[in-house]
Amino acid sequence: MLFEAVDRNLREAMKFFCRANEAGEARQMPGVLLISSGINYGVFNSALITDPVPDTASFEQRLLTARVFFGARGLRWSLWACEDLLARGVRRKQANLCERYRLQPLTEPPGMFAEALAPPGDDRPRIEIRAVKDAVTRMAFCQIAAATFELPLSIANEIYTQPGGWKSTFHGFVGYVGETPVTTVATVVDDGIAGIYSVATLPEYRGRGYAEAAIRHALDEARRQFGVEATTLQSTRLAVRLYQRLGYRTVTRFHVYLATEA
């Protein structure tokens, strides 16, 4: 099913955070993948539901597993649950169950899929796309991510400027206008599908087509290197129309919660 492809690619992408430094780790536990960056910042430590959740007792067991794992390390964490893995009764009660474990709702990004991108228009912006492959491009990627996603720069530095994560399946790109880095995107190719992540553009450069140009370049590279056409992503609600225009359609939804304490 398409939602499984979106969910599986997301789990592979999240491993970037545990590979970024030596303190990171990933552990598959019954029904839940635990990914720790080793940094006490909730969005970089994730518990991802990996198997169908038939009832509330099973859901709570996975929450408990995650709380024990991250609590033992003194880390705040986040929960990612693909709604198609949750039985109907679990979906109705998940918010209350998460509240018991001091998890607050953060966002509900649509999971989107496209067999291939729609053809580009004629008004392509002038922008140079460079692969993330050295300290300069890692820092550029880091600074744009921090500014766009409202991350403390010191925390972003610990993740994005370190070479470890970039040696994995996570391939980053930075778009430059002249010599100014303005936009980012990353791809993760897994099981014949290219996932799109970290789409970000500095506020003063938005609305000019730079993000779309970066996405198309990144997917062209994935096609050239790995022969893949199908692509997935998790969208913000504001970006859904952009991605629909590119050929994506919503096939699932994720429920993301953030721990209020370690």
pLDDT in tens, 35-92: 999 999 999 999 999 999 999 999 999 999 999 999 999 999 999 999 999 999 999 9
Note the pTM of the prediction, 2 decimals: 0.94
> Vertex 194, ends 193 and 196: CA angle to 5°?
140
Best CA proximity match to 254, nearest among 37, 108, 91, 95: 108
Could you tell me which residues come within 8 angstroms of residue 203 by beta carbon, excluding any fewer than 6 positions away? 147, 148
Each residue's pLDDT tens digit, 184-214: 999 999 999 999 999 999 999 999 999 999 9
Instruction: Give the orientation angle of helix 153-160 with respect to helix 135-149, to 10 degrees.
Output: 140
- What are the CA-CA distances from residue 184 to residues 13, 34, 187, 212, 213 (Å)? 15, 26, 11, 10, 10
